[in-house]
């Protein structure tokens, strides 16, 4: 056996990032000889802990941990999610849905949307969303799990994610991690001990004087970046030029009858408002630019646009869009908000935690901390942030809104070159390009480009191999199949009860 294995991993900070890291490490690396994992957190330090929306990749993480979905849904007051609804982003009164999954059916070896674009050229009036089960079912408030036993149904491949209480998710993973051998230490870190020659972190010092030593330190300390920035000075790449929102107000409200399996984003005068329906309440927040609206004004607008009574006072959050220039420095790796922040417009916060963990597993070091693998980790991390940044900027850049200084700034700002290239190719050819292994699929790019009003001037010539009448007939048939399938699905609130995943129903049964 080699003698340079990591023996002690110290995770600095709890919350969603810390406990996701701890649970995954315990599951994947827990059997490594001599390895111990310790997480340090302080009850005195709060976490962001708002309602959290996710994307389908969360299912891979939950499967890795071996989570029982029904138990997970009940324990976190989760609901299902088929996509994100965008209201007023193009102009007031406009809406579209970015669905998970796919549109229609590929034909003649080319993507479905080329046939839809041909249909549009033939004056077919139906929007792209009519061909997505995620869109039609989501807007109707309906949900069902995929049915792979029905290969000819759009339900066979329907993709879904979750909306859950982030604080409850962290608690859920904490129980799992501790039962798998992770040690939790309560304490506030007041100092960091570094090696005088290498600069590596050797230990953190708690307020009561205890020193917690380790070989590898995972910084999950949130925006402040206690180790990665305050101690190691990784540097920060500021993207506020392209993503000018730098504040948020968050507040829960009473649940309404509108329980669609969709996260909702509604554009406001200086940013946008999220709506995340959970089983027990609805999470809300206003993400905004402090250069264009005051905190008090933002809170007033948020409270005036809730579905139900506010359950708390609005809680302010401050941030800067961007990322650490290096997420891994020496023997410290930043995960979650310690590594960077991109506004939750496309529900990527937890995914960035998940991929950071996955990359660390792939490039898990020995005590030699080979710089080659550290550099590789950092390149991949930066590229992921760039890809997501471009996708977020697309929403702001492709808008017709001119009703406020904020939207005039966003509409007239030149987008990053990588994004401008994607838009130009789609506009001229109808093709959607996807570089390397970027997170968002062709379907996602298509949904937002079309949804934001970017019009393709052409489509794949192979689509013309179908006669015009046949193209329209097939489009009509696909649309009918999607509509009929959605109508056959139960309402989400009924599905949760029928499937034994309703937290309220389970609590009532226990009390009885």
Share of the chain above pLDDT 90, in %: 92
Most distant CA atoms of the chain, gap in Å: 79
pLDDT of residue 3: 80
Q: Is it the case that residue 45 has pLDDT exceeding 60?
A: yes
Catalytic residues: 81
Contact by Cβ (8 Å): 336, 318: no
Range of lowest pLDDT (184-198, 308-322, 449-463, 496-510): 496-510
DSSP-derived pairing of the beta strands 332-334 and 282-288:
unpaired
Mean pLDDT value of segment 498-506:
76
Mean pLDDT value of segment 354-382:
98
Quote the tokens at residue 294. 């005051």
Mean pLDDT value of segment 161-176:
96
Q: Is it the case that residue 427 has pLDDT exceeding 80?
A: yes
pLDDT of residue 507: 52
Alpha-carbon span 290 to 209, nearest angstrom? 40
pLDDT of residue 336: 97
pLDDT band, very low/low/confident/very high, at 502 (cuts 50, 70, 90): confident
Mean pLDDT value of segment 57-85:
98
Rounded to a whole number of angstroms, the distance between the first and last alpha carbons of the chain is: 56
pLDDT of residue 2: 74
Q: Is it the case that residue 432 has pLDDT exceeding 80?
A: yes
All residues at 6 or more sequence positions from 193 whose CB lies less than 8 Å from its CB, including other chains: 201, 202, 203, 204, 205, 211
pLDDT of residue 166: 92
Helix (H) or strand (E) holding 329: strand 328-329
Q: Is it the case that residue 511 has pLDDT exceeding 60?
A: no
CB atoms inside a 10 Å sphere around CB 176: 20
Q: Is 155 left (phi over 0), alpha (psi -120 to 50) or beta?
A: alpha
Q: How does pLDDT run across 307-316, given as a tens digit for each residue?
A: 999 999 999 9
All residues at 6 or more sequence positions from 378 whose CB lies less than 8 Å from its CB, including other chains: 326, 327, 328
Q: What residue has token string 């759009």?
A: 154
pLDDT of residue 132: 99
Answer positive or negative: Cα dihedral of 157, 158, 159, 165. Answer: negative
pLDDT of residue 435: 84
Q: Is it the case that residue 89 has pLDDT exceeding 70?
A: yes
Q: What does the mean pLDDT of the chain come to?
A: 96
Q: Is it the case that residue 334 has pLDDT exceeding 70?
A: yes
All residues at 6 or more sequence positions from 432 whose CB lies less than 8 Å from its CB, including other chains: 111, 113, 422, 426, 442, 445, 446, 449
Mean pLDDT value of segment 373-381:
98
Alpha-carbon span 96 to 309, nearest angstrom? 27
Give me the domains of the chain, ranges plus CATH numbers: 8-51+165-240+322-369 (3.50.50.60), 370-465 (no CATH)
Q: What residue has token string 């490490």?
A: 25
Mean pLDDT value of segment 56-64:
98
pLDDT of residue 437: 85
Q: Is it the case that residue 49 has pLDDT exceeding 60?
A: no
* 52 vs 445, higher pLDDT: 445
Candidates 228, 208, 202; CA nearest to 13 is: 228
Share of the chain above pLDDT 70, in %: 97
């Amino acid at each position: 056996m080699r003698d340079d294995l990591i023996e002690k991993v110290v995770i600095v900070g709890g919350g969603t990032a810390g406990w996701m890291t701890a649970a995954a490490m315990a599951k994947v690396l827990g059997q490594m000889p001599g390895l111990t994992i310790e997480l340090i957190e302080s009850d005195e330090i709060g976490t962001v802990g708002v309602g959290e929306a996710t994307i389908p990749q969360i299912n891979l993480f939950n499967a890795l941990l071996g989570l029982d979905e029904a138990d997970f849904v009940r324990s976190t007051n989760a609901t299902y999610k088929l996509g994100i609804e965008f209201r007023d982003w193009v102009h007031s009164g406009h809406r579209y849905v970015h669905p998970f999954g796919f549109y229609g059916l590929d034909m003649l070896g080319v993507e479905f949307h080329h046939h839809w674009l041909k249909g549009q050229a033939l004056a077919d009036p139906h929007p792209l969303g009519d061909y997505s089960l995620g869109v039609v079912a989501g807007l109707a408030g309906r949900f069902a799990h995929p049915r792979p036993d029905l290969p000819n149904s759009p339900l066979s491949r329907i993709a879904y994610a979750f909306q859950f209480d982030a604080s409850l998710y962290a608690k859920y993973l904490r129980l799992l991690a501790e039962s798998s051998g992770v040690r939790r230490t309560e304490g506030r870190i007041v100092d960091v001990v570094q090696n005088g020659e290498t600069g590596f972190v050797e230990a953190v010092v708690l307020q009561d004087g205890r020193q917690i030593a380790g070989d590898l330190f995972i910084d999950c300390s949130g925006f402040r970046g206690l180790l990665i920035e305050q101690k190691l000075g990784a540097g920060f790449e500021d993207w506020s030029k392209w993503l000018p929102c730098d504040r948020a107000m968050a507040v829960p409200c009473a649940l309404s009858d509108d329980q669609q399996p969709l996260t909702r984003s509604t554009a406001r005068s200086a940013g946008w408002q999220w709506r995340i329906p959970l089983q027990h309440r609805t999470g809300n927040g206003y993400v905004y630019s402090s250069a264009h609206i005051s905190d008090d004004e933002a809170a007033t607008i948020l409270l005036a646009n809730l579905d139900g009574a506010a359950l708390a006072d609005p809680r302010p959050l401050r941030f800067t869009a961007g990322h650490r220039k290096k997420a891994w420095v020496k023997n410290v790796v930043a995960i979650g908000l310690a590594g960077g922040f991109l506004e939750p417009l496309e529900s990527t916060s937890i995914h960035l935690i998940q991929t950071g963990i996955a990359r660390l597993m792939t490039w898990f070091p020995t005590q030699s901390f080979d710089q080659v693998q550290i550099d590789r980790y950092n390149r991949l991390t930066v590229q992921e942030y760039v890809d997501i940044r471009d996708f977020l900027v697309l929403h702001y850049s492709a808008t017709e809104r001119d009703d406020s200084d904020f939207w005039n700034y966003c509409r007239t700002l030149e987008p990053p070159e990588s994004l401008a290239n994607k838009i130009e190719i789609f506009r001229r050819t109808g093709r959607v390009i996807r570089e390397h292994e970027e997170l968002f699929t062709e379907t996602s790019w298509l949904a937002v480009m079309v949804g934001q009003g970017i019009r393709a001037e052409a489509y794949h010539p192979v689509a013309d191999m179908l006669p015009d009448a046949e193209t329209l007939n097939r489009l009509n048939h696909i649309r009918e199949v999607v509509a009929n399938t959605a109508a056959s699905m139960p309402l989400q609130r009924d599905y949760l009860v029928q499937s034994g995943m309703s937290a309220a129903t389970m609590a009532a049964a226990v009390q009885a």
